[in-house]
Amino acid sequence: MSNAQSSSSTRQNADLTFKLNRHHGRHGWLRLTPAYSVKLVSEILAASDRGIRVLDPFSGTATTPLCAAYADDTGTGVEINPFLTWLGNAKLATYSSASVRAARETLSRLISEAIRENTKFVAPPLMHNLHRWWIQSH
């Protein structure tokens, strides 16, 4: 396989995983490595009848129910992990313009205060290769 083919294949495989979700609004809120990409789920839904009901028994971060909602389908996710259940519900919620504006203002104020006070951030806990979860290669 040539380098161009390998690069193309790698890029196509990345389009099916969480890596593609990083730039898709709510889908990019958390890097969950076993997550399916928005592209994959959207393509499956687009090939289906409209108005279907979708059940995702291992919903994770709710990619499938959220894509179903975007496609005017009904999506139900089931997840055993309490944090992922909370995150999925947060991603599926509807937020008013006023609440989004208030959140932006609050975050902006907190960031400004941290910068002004020269806040020192606590080092992450010692874990094997912890930075691989945040450092992204291009």
What is the pTM (predicted TM-score) of this model? 0.60
Q: Where are the alpha helices (DSSP H) in 3-136?
A: 3-14, 18-21, 38-46, 63-70, 82-92, 97-116
Q: Radius of gyration of the chain from Cα atoms?
A: 18
| Alpha carbon distance 12, 14 (integer Å) | 5
Quick one: which of 106, 126, 108 has its CA closest to 116?
108
- Greater model confidence, 37 or 18: 37
The token duo for 87 is 């995150």
CB-hemisphere CA count at 13 Å for 4?
0
The token pair at 49 is: 């009848």
pLDDT in tens, 124-138: 666 666 566 555 554
pLDDT, greater one: 24 or 137: 24
Q: What is the pLDDT of residues 25-71, one digit of tens each?
A: 666 666 666 677 788 888 999 999 989 999 999 988 888 998 999 89
